[in-house]
Amino acid sequence: MPVEGTQTGDERGDLAAEYALGVLDLAGRLEAQRRIAIDPEFATEVASWEETLHPMAEACGEETPPPHLRRAVEERLFGASARQGGFWHSLGAWRSMALACLALLVVSAGLNARSYLLQEEVGARLIVSLEPQGGEVRFLALYEPGRSEFRLSQVSGSPGAGRDFELWLVEGGNPPVSLGVLPKQGVAEIDLPPLLARRVKEGATLAISDEPAGGSPTGKVTGPVVAAGSARPI
């Protein structure tokens, strides 16, 4: 158990409420933050208090920040160092694993392996390491431009009973486009219609959401995104 057993539920609830209200001193806040990181129940209690109290923020009104702030934020996130920054920071770390998985994928593709290896630069082949978004669902996708086909390999995590994973293509400000529901296990092959295939390029984002069995009933992402990553040439 991550949290000392000496603490009663009441004390724990009080600490969560005090943290959400904001009245703790620095030491108290650091302690609460440490617990949030290791104790999901405590973290949920804090989030629940934050939800309860947040209408009070109305009292602050609104104040437009100076325009240069927005540029500063975007510069920090997507500026010169965008390649290593933020969202993709851990992609590099996964890269070696991604390549190892790719080798497996190619081998497991059996007869197709030969054509993969022979198919030199038809256009850049792309690899997408779909990283977990809070859970343990991880996929690796390989895009073969000559075939307009994504091959997905499940690295870890599977959908719960009565649920399916659905694959989405996300580009810029457009709504995500469904690329199809993934099979429960193994390697998935997803053929793209030419119009969609043209939109798959370096930097395109793939995401997997958890949906009701058979896929999203609305054509839009309805469940949480469980894994996501961006396409890179290999």
Partner 1 sequence: MGDGGNVVGTAAEIAELVSRVALGDRAAFSVLYERTSGKLFAICLRILKDRAEAEDALQEVYVRIWRRAGGYRDGQYSAMSWLIAIARNHSIDRLRARQPLSDDIDAAGTIPDSAPNPEASAVAAGEMGRIESCLGELPPQRAEAVMAAYVEGYSYAELAERFAIPLNTMRTWLHRSLKSLRECLEHSGLRS
Question: Which residues make up the interface to partner 1 (CB under 8 A)?
Answer: 14, 17-18, 20-26, 29, 47-66, 69-70, 72-74, 76-78, 86-88, 133-134, 168, 170, 172-173, 176, 205, 207, 221, 224-225, 228, 230
The Cα angle at residue 215 between residues 210 and 221, in degrees rounded to 5: 60
| Strands (E) located in 86-221 | 126-132, 138-144, 149-156, 163-170, 177-181, 187-191, 205-212
| Closer by beta carbon to partner 1, 16 or else 192 | 16
The DSSP symbol for 137 reads: -
Nearer to partner 1, 4 or 25 (CB): 25
Least distance from C-beta 18 to partner 1, angstroms? 7
Of 3 and 73, CB closest to partner 1 = 73
- CA–CA separation, 139 and 225 (whole Å): 13
Residues in contact with 7: Cβ distance below 8 Å, sequence separation at least 6, in sequence order: none
For the bound state, the minimum distance from the C-beta of residue 153 to partner 1, rounded and expressed in Å, comes to 20
Task: Quote the CA–CA distance of 18 and 215 in Å, as a whole number.
Answer: 41
Q: How far is the CB of 218 from partner 1 (least distance, A)?
A: 12
Least CB distance to partner 1 at residue 92 (A): 15
User: In degrees rounded to 5, what are phi and psi of residue 106?
Assistant: -65, -45
Nearer to partner 1, 20 or 101 (CB): 20
Q: Tokens for 162? A: 């009565």
> Least distance from C-beta 45 to partner 1, angstroms?
11
Q: Which CB atom, from 105 or from 221, has the smaller least distance to partner 1? A: 221
Total Cβ atoms within 10 A of residue 168: 21
How near is the Cβ of 109 to partner 1 at its closest, in Å? 28
Nearer to partner 1, 109 or 196 (CB): 196
In angstroms, the CA 115 to CA 89 distance is 33
